[in-house]
Amino acid sequence: MDPLFKLMPIVFLAFAVEASLGFGSALVAVTLGSMLFPIGELLPMLIPLSIVVSGYITIRYRATIDRPMLLRRIVPAMALGLPVGLFALQTLPATLLKRAFAAFILVLVGIELWKMIRAPREAPAPLSRLVSAALLFLGGLVHGAFSTGGPLVVYVAGRDLAHDKARFRSTLSALWLVMSIVLFATFTLLGRVDSTSLERSGLLVLPLVLGLISGEVMHARVPVRALRPLVFVVLGVAGVALAVQA
């Protein structure tokens, strides 16, 4: 069977998760899809699809985007970290960096899940501005090195926005939209997005649309109280996946 057809259920699952939670498509699609295609071929296929889903959520639910958090906190801190990550990738062992990042994510997730088990009804205190800025800077650094800084952004948003699932999803989607457009432009300039990759992306539109519809239904049905534990469980899976890939 053509690997592209095997990729279709993965795309459906990835974007159903993305549309329901506001993140997770890269985790699912890259982790499972890399078993069928080299990552260098996979990413140019997936990025246009990510733009479609993130763009849909951003435009349709633009009224719920937390603009102060996105524009004053997330984007500036990540922008400062990006060049540091690019430099670190050139000077430090990539495997060591990725394993350290995965371990850091797992420690953060473990702490949050332990707190929820011990005091399930206790609302989490928002992160201090200093801690939040440090984590977002680190997210930018890791994204500059490996294009996988999303988990730290999701962690910060999970602490500060998970009480409002619509705001959580739309704010993250707006960030992913900007990042995906930048990646698409970069890949196009490098010649990695071409007629072949775009044709493959077009063949994946149907599972994308079905995943988006399913994700919208799931988002409407997920109780707010279940969102935070679900976010950190998915982040834990992301940490394990990063450790394995390293």
Q: Is the pTM of this model over 0.75?
A: yes
* Cβ neighbour number for residue 70 with a 10 Å cutoff: 17
Q: What is the identity of the amino acid at 194?
A: D
Range of the domain at 86: 3-245
* pLDDT tens digits, 94-112: 677 778 878 888 888 888 8
DSSP 162: T
CA 85 – CA 82 distance, rounded (Å): 5
DSSP letter for 194, please. -
Residue range 188-242, pLDDT digits in tens: 998 989 999 999 999 999 999 999 999 999 999 988 778 778 888 888 888 888 7
**How far from chain centre, in Å, is Cα 243?**
16
Domain total of the chain: 1
Percent of the chain's residues with pLDDT above 90: 43
Measured distance between the N- and C-terminal CA atoms of the chain, rounded to whole angstroms? 29
